[in-house]
Amino acid sequence: MNYTKCWLAYPRIQTMGGAPLRVRCDFTGPVAGRIMEELRLAMRALYDKAVEPAKGEAEITVTRNAALHEEGYCLHVSGGRAQITAGGESGALYGVFALLRRAQMAGCAWDELEGEESTAPSNPLRMLNHWDNMEGDIERGYSGQSFFFHDNEVLVNERTVDYARLVASVGINGVVLNNVNVKGAATWLISPRYYAPLRQIQEILASYGIRMFLCINFAAPMELGGLDSADPCDERVAQWWREKAREVWENLPGLGGFVVKADSEGRPGPFTYGRTHSDGANMLADAVAPYGGVVIWRCFVYNCQQDWRDTKTDRARSGYDNFMPLDGSFRDNVILQIKNGPMDFQVREPVSPLFGGLKHTNMMLEVQIAQEYTGQQRHVCYLIPWFREVLDQDMYCCDGPSTVADLVSGRSYGNTLCGMAAVANTGDDPNWTGHDLAAANLYGFGRLSYQTSLTGEEIAREWARLTFGQDAEVESVMREILMASWPAYESYNAPLGIGWMCSPNHHYGPNVDGYEYDRWGTYHRADCKGLGVDRTSAGTGYCQQYNSPLAETYENLETCPDELVLFFHHLPYTYVLKSGKTVIQHIYDTHFHGAEEAARFYDLVESIKDRLEPETYRRLHERLAHQKAHACEWRDVINTYFYRKSGIPDAQGRKIYP
């Protein structure tokens, strides 16, 4: 094995030895087997204790309580005995992982461990979307190559099992193996060529309570089936999909369903045939319905051929403009998957107004833990506090609970097909996520999607303890860096919510005008007087896609929050923000501050150098040294650009250009 165990390393708490712990597990089936395996491994590592199965009297009991949620559990531990009751197999597994987490958080002897908790998942679906290509590379992957695919073959090995363990331990129950951009061999994943190995992966995942999903190519009837059309309203096409679905589910029983990126960034879709997204999604939904399959249809649809001189077209509007008219027209087994913001995973964006708009459609929130625009896993950027902000945003769309968390959990409208998905950040690197600290995003996304009431700070503490063991100083340094990392990244990135000042294509490093005169609809509109996009009623009208009072909050400069003010308004450099600073001074100050923060992260890790495994330290040191230097580059490129544009010097007289 040439990779780390991340938060499942189970670093020793105390050597106890003594009689084996007896475990009585009343569940049978594949997941029950995993439960015993995990307890055996963990108890040996944590306490040097053996574990043995028992029929009657036992120190650890795992029993069914039909009154509990299928994926929920009750845990009671005291005096060397632990009782886990659960509604179903997955709940039992989660209860076991909760016990092991609790043991590590307490850090005491097994006999002294006390506590109870009772929980059910906040979200029905808690998914990871891998953008892995069959050739073995990963779109927006920053942790090496795929461990699912290589050279157009499907990989199944020990790592598949360890992956499933890792993500199940934090409550993930759905995994999409392949990239949403389905090209080349990936179109053939739904053909006899690949069913055998896919079924092996599916069985491994299922033994950890995880459903497998596949992305499909909307043009598969043509590319795979030899038809001359993929028109969703053509009966031959619908028939082809019905037969294909039968074949797929015969070979992959229990498959969760299909994920579709259609009419987006050049991918085929119903628009080619003058059809709507609901025509496309419903045709597929009907084909997969007999097998309990679901169609997850992405809302990342926009015109990527914009002319930069066109100031009326606004990419931010596109999700709402495309999908709102279709509300209520989708089948019950269709879920619309919506990115958190209206643009594309920038370091800061307002929440997509679609969440507040759709009332009769299943919705899922899509976030990205692959740090495409947030440092590509070379910079540390712990995104969980940001996701919490997104979830807490009230959309003012109904009388009852109406935050994004309420909407995607089903609490607002009673949906059961809904939840959260993250674009995954894993690869075959020895530490899974490139940056050791990026594992906190993988851990955190799972934990947050299972229990959205957790805070970023709580999750950071858990992750640090589970990963690094009982060293209080290491834990506090890791937590400190994680919690300061997203604000720091935002400080030296594009200012005040405007986004996109990165290099085109690969999206790494500062380039203020990189996208400014391009076709992608991502503009900052800076000139010698000011910058920002006017999205008020006088501008693109995007503000009005929100419900009241959010629409007015953003529309009015007096109430629009500073951190988003340039997303909604075009302002002069001399405009005074709520912070009391001018826009230009804010730009200078935050960029100096952000670079100082990056240097502080570097120093913090140096201060615990001797407490870390040499290999962990080496990796962290290398990444943080790079971030420290690269944050200076961001600072200098952005500050110089705006100094030259505005001609206004820094009030603190610092050196602006390199």
Question: Binding residue for ligand GCW (CB under 6 A) from 131, 443, 568, 601?
Answer: 131
Beta carbon of residue 264, minimum distance to ligand GCW (angstroms, whole number): 6
Residue 181 as a binder of ligand GCW (CB under 6 A): the answer is yes
HSE (side-chain half, CA atoms, 13 Å) at 157: 12
Distances (CA, A) of 308 to 247, 256, 478, 515, 518: 47, 41, 43, 9, 6
C-beta of 423: minimal distance to ligand GCW in Å? 7
> Min. distance of Cβ 192 from ligand GCW in angstroms?
27
Q: Which is nearer to ligand GCW, 236 or 506 (CB)?
A: 506
Choose, from 38, 59, 344, 366, the residue flagged as catalytic: 344
SS3 at position 298? strand
70 is an active site residue = no
Q: Shortest distance, CB of residue 175 to ligand GCW, whole angstroms?
A: 16
Closest to ligand GCW by CB, 173 or 371: 371
Q: Binders of ligand GCW among 334-373, rule CB under 6 A?
A: 344
- Catalytic member of 71, 132, 372, 589: 372
Decide whether 169 or 337 has the Cβ nearer to ligand GCW: 337
Alpha helices in 350-438, H assignment, sequence order:
354-357, 384-392, 404-409
Strand partners, 297: 260, 336
Q: How far, in Å, are 381, 588, 630 from residue 634 at the CA level? A: 15, 11, 6
d(CA 658, CA 651): 18
82-93 burial: b if 16+ Cβ within 10 Å, else e: bbbbbbbbbbbb
Nearer to ligand GCW, 187 or 639 (CB): 187
Task: Confirm or reject binding of residue 142 to ligand GCW (CB under 6 A).
Answer: no
Nearest approach, Cβ of residue 140 and ligand GCW (Å): 5
Residue 334 CB, nearest distance to ligand GCW (Å)? Answer: 18
Q: Which is nearer to ligand GCW, 140 or 591 (CB)?
A: 140
Q: Name the token pair of 467.
A: 């990963």
Tell which one of 126, 130, 261, 461 touches ligand GCW (CB under 6 A).
Answer: 261
Q: Token pair for residue 137?
A: 């590379």
d(CA 438, CA 434): 7
User: What minimum distance in Å lies between the beta carbon of 127 and ligand GCW?
Assistant: 14
Taking the C-alpha atoms of residue 169 and residue 336, their distance in angstroms, rounded to an integer, is 27
139 lines the binding site for ligand GCW (CB under 6 A): yes
Does residue 300 bind ligand GCW (CB under 6 A)?
A: yes
For the chain, how far is it from start to end, CA to CA, in angstroms? 46
- Measured CA to CA in angstroms, residue 577 lies from 218, 282, 638 at distances of 47, 47, 19
- Amino acid symbol at 352: S
- Active-site annotation holder among 116, 265, 473, 615: 265
Clarify whether 344 is annotated catalytic.
yes
Q: How far is the CB of 318 from ligand GCW (least distance, A)?
A: 13
Helix or strand or coil: residue 502? Answer: strand
Q: How far is CA 164 from CA 6, 88, 243, 366, in A?
A: 13, 18, 31, 20
198 touches ligand GCW (CB under 6 A): no
Shortest Å distance, C-beta 459 to ligand GCW: 25
Tell me whether residue 344 or residue 563 sits nearer to ligand GCW (CB atom): 344
* Rounded Cα–Cα distance for residues 317 and 61 (Å): 53
> Is 153 among the catalytic positions?
no
Which CB, 137 or 562, lies closer to ligand GCW?
Answer: 137
- Residues 288, 245 contacting (CB under 8 angstroms): yes
**Count of residues that bind ligand GCW according to CB under 6 A:** 9
In this chain, which residue has its C-beta nearest to ligand GCW? 344
Considering the complex, what minimum distance in angstroms separates the CB of residue 121 from ligand GCW?
A: 25
Site string for ligand GCW, 621-650 (x = CB under 6 A): ------------------------------
The crossing angle, in degrees rounded to 10, of helices 456-468 and 89-106 is 80
Task: Compare residues 522 and 639 and give the one whose CB is closer to ligand GCW.
Answer: 522
Contacts of residue 464, defined as CB under 8 A and 6 or more positions apart, other chains included, come to 440, 474, 475, 478, 479, 482
Token pair, residue 180, equals 């949403």
CB 366 within 8 A of CB 337: yes
**How far apart, in whole angstroms, are the C-alpha atoms of residue 490 and residue 509?**
13
155 makes contact with ligand GCW (CB under 6 A): no
User: Is 180 a binder of ligand GCW (CB under 6 A)?
Assistant: yes
Residue 91 has phi, psi (to 5 degrees) of -60, -40
- Give the DSSP letter string of 528-586: SSEE----STTTT-GGGGSPTTHHHHHHSTTTS-GGGHHHH--EETTPBPTTSSBHHHH
Task: Please identify, using beta-carbon distances, which residue of 100 and 176 lies nearer to ligand GCW.
Answer: 176
Nearer to ligand GCW, 217 or 264 (CB): 264
Give me the residues that bind ligand GCW (CB under 6 A), please.
131, 139-140, 180-181, 261, 264, 300, 344
What amino acid positions are annotated as catalytic residues? 265, 344, 372
